Structure 1
Amino acid sequence: MTRASALFLIDSSAWRWVPLLAALLLGGCSTLDYYAQLARGQLELLRARQPVEALLADPATAAALRERLALALQARRFASAALGLPDNRSYRLYADVQRPYVLWNLFATAEFSVEPELHCFPVAGCVAYRGYYRQGRARGAAALLRHQGLDTYIGGVEAYSTLGWFDDPLLNTMLAWSDERLVAVIFHELAHQQLYVADDTAFNESFASFVEYEGLRQWRAARGLAAVNAQSEQQRAQFTELVLASRERLRALYARDLPAPAMRTAKQAEFERLRRDYRTLRERQWGGVGRYDAWIEGPLNNAKLLPFGLYDRWVPAFARLFGEVGGDWPAFYRRVALLGELSPEKRSEALQALAAAGQNRSSAPAVQP
């Protein structure tokens, strides 16, 4: 059997589940055409996978690719050995999808709302987007939604997790990142395989983000590297706060009983305020460094604000929980799993208590092991 044919036999018994699982895991609409493109995209990804170790052993592998894959494999081993994350073949495989993003997510809101149009499925629960493996299809779907009067935003996705249903590969879309970001995203995506709670995106993403941040800190310490650039993290947090404040002002605006023309004028005024606030922050505190210039100067609408806050909201709560178990990863995951079993209301209360305890360092644990 040739090497190429052997590679294509990986997980062949699982391929019969592709049409169903791709639809469930990646979000979608009610049309068979949409499900079909998800199935085709996931199947193409599965077929493109190659074992990283085989590529590293192949003299024909380009030096630059070999270097990136070697780093990723080291991070992958560290993830399971040091962070207690799932020990499987995910991110021990590589796939070149021949494009800059593996898929494109389409977000949508009503014209006068900051709440997402949700799409719900048995495995992933309700998510705030629809995924497309071809940018043209995402743009076409967005045009149809705009024709219905909705705000839309398309964001390219460089990596995603199938929550353990498949062995997720490293992608060419990931390898241009800095060492730090490549390692961090491997930790983040494996955290989704460790634990995922349906219908609670903020919980899932905040949990994975904490694992990413703490995992990266431990990775750098183990390798004798300096701590992560605090200034970069502070700027990201400050920008997120600006966007979230704008979103809350829009929420209050849309709750008012105004005629549509007046509402549109006020809406655009809020986006201009967001741009002014950003420019002020950039000039007064960042020394003119414009990390987010392209984003802020591009078209702004409700849908473009949706992703903000999902990845960070409960990170302080998870940091507090990690401290309560003395930095023991298995114990931490057990405590997080207990949180996941709570009702949405009780879970939110527990997370709020943990976050508050992290601020004053005096409260009792919110969830008992």
Structure 2
Amino acid sequence: MLKRILLALLFIIVLLGIYYRDILSYGVMQAKGQISILANVEEVEDVLANPAFPDSLKRRIRLILEIKQFGVDSLGLKPSDNYTTFYNQHGKPLIWLITASERYKIVPYKWNFPVVGTFPYKGYFDSTRAVREEKELITTGLDTDIGDVSAWSTLGYFKDPILSSMLKRRDGSLANLILHELTHGTLFVKNNLELNENLASFVGDQGAIRFLKYKYGLDSPQLRTYQYSKKYNDAYSGHMLRGTVKLDSLYKTFGNNMSPDRRKDSLKKAMIVKILTDADTLLSTKRTFKPKNGLSDSQLPNNAYFINYLTYKSRQNIFLEEFENKFGGDLKKYLAYLKENYPSM
């Protein structure tokens, strides 16, 4: 009897292994990438004590530690061991992110993972595997977007290190990045990436402004630089979000057939080109899109590009209104309210 039970269990395990082989393979690959990084980090204390390490970069590391402490003390972010280690990338990107969408619909393609849930993007430590998956998605008719990312959160499963690429950022951008990732470690709702990323973007933005005021003062060049950059980025994001509405309206006239069609592709391309060229008028002193001799399809952003704005920026006005009207601009109280009202992993 026991032998039959063991054979049945073995049979089930084999079936599960076959069914989930892609997920298992991906999990092993990601684990290897993460372990490779963790095996080559240095303790921040050792880096700061190393006389061969440039003093200018030590100051950037100390600034990250200060931003982290500000996030915990002044914003109510969760204390953690993140950013107590340092990883030297030697100028190389570490992780590549893929997003995908239907050809004639602004709807994200979603990947399902055990425990952590559903995601509208997929990360790879191996660029070759990332490109291979992107090609497979393209052959199924999906629009795709791929690029390297500057940071990520392991949601407390590991100690997220300071990456050498972070040290090149301006103060405001650095504060935004650190506070964004620490927000993920504080509040992360399963199967709701749009809420998670929008919230982290909101806290990163608002928290960076508060940190710069605290650190440098109201009239500091660091604050002015960041506020100008934020003004432009907000205008550009808003323009792209309005562009998704226009594209969505166009796609509704196409019907439900997602098969490639030259006429549909031509209308789609014309709409995207118009959205991008219109962005040049957002701020007269800063141009963003300069087509010279036309655009090839490979150079033109597609639906997956617009999906990124939905994922990271579509709820900013909702958060801002609630933050200002219900909590009087008190970010710590607002974050405490969100932690209480959203079940976090």
* Identity percentage of aligned residues: 27
Distance (Å, rounded) in 1 between the aligned partners of 2:213 and 2:21: 45
CA distance in 2, matches of 1:58, 1:261: 61
> Does the CA-based 8 Å contact 1:104-1:134 persist in structure 2?
yes
Corresponding residue for 1:301?
Answer: 302
> Matched residue of 1:219: which SS?
helix
- What does residue range 341-352 of structure 1 map to in structure 2 within 5 Å? 341=343
**Is the partner of 1:89 in helix, strand or coil?**
coil
Match of 1:108 in 2: 100
2:311 maps to 1:310? yes
Give the superposition deviation at 1:31: 4.2
Who is 1:204 aligned against?
A: 196
> Which whole-Å CA distance do the structure 2 matches of 1:320 and 1:278 have between them?
25
| Unmatched tracts of structure 1, length 5 or more | 1-27, 343-369
Q: In structure 2, do the counterparts of structure 1 residues 146 and 246 end up closer, same or farther at CA, with 3 Å as the change threshold?
A: same
Task: Give the letter aligned to residue 337 of structure 1.
Answer: K
Q: Helix, strand or coil for the counterpart of 1:114?
A: coil
On the 8 A contact 2:277/2:290 being kept in 1, the answer is no
Q: CA deviation at 1:329?
A: 5.2
1:75-129 superposed Cα distances (whole Å, 9 cap, x missing partner): 2222222222122210121112334322010111222222111012244321111
* Separation in structure 2 between the aligned mates of residue 321 and residue 248 of structure 1, nearest angstrom: 24
Tell me, in whole angstroms, the C-alpha distance in 2 between the residues paired with 1:265 and 1:325: 47
C-alpha separation in 2, matches of 1:128 and 1:272: 25
Normalising by the residue count of structure 1, what TM-score does the alignment of the two structures yield? 0.76
> In the alignment, residue 254 of structure 1 is paired with which amino acid?
Y
For residues 288 and 166 of structure 2, the distance between their equivalents in structure 1, rounded to whole angstroms, comes to 20
TM-score when normalising by structure 2: 0.81
Equivalent residue for 2:68?
76
On the 8 A contact 1:206/1:310 being kept in 2, the answer is yes
Q: 2:168 is paired with a residue of what secondary structure? A: coil
Task: Decide whether the 8 Å contact of 1:29 with 1:119 is kept in 2.
Answer: no
Aligned to 2:116: 124
CA distance in structure 2 between the aligned counterparts of 1:204 and 1:329, rounded to whole angstroms: 16
Query: What runs of 5+ residues in structure 2 fail to find an aligned partner?
Result: 1-19
**Aligned counterpart, 1:23:** none
Superposition deviation, residue 44 in structure 1 = 1.0
Equivalents in 1 of 2:123, 2:91: separation in Å? Answer: 15
Q: Alpha carbons of 1:114 and 1:32: their partners in 2 closer, same or farther (altered >3 Å)?
A: same
Is the Cα contact below 8 Å between 2:100 and 2:121 reproduced in 1?
yes
1:152-176 Cα offsets, whole Å, 9 max, x none, are 1102111010111111111112221
Q: How does 1:9-28 map to 2 (within 5 A)?
A: none
SS in 1 for 2:96: strand
Q: Distance in 2 between matches of 1:255 and 1:54?
A: 58
Residues 187, 215 of structure 1: 8 Å contact kept: yes
Q: Is this contact kept in 2: 1:187–1:211, CA < 8 A?
A: yes
The structure showing larger relative contact order (alpha-carbon pairs under 8 Å, at least 6 residues apart) is 2
In structure 2, what is the equivalent of residue 167 of structure 1? Answer: 159
Asked whether the 8 Å contact 1:50–1:93 carries over to 2, the reply is yes
Distance 1:339 1:81 in 2: 21
Q: Distance in 2 between matches of 1:273 and 1:68?
A: 41
Q: Distance in 1 between matches of 2:101 and 2:199?
A: 25
User: Which whole-Å deviations, capped at 9, do the CAs of 1:294-326 have from their partners, x for residues lacking one?
Assistant: 9x9742211122111322333333334444345
Distance (Å, rounded) in 2 between the aligned partners of 1:326 and 1:275: 36
The answer for the alignment partner of 1:275 in structure 2 is: 276
Aligned match of 2:128? 136
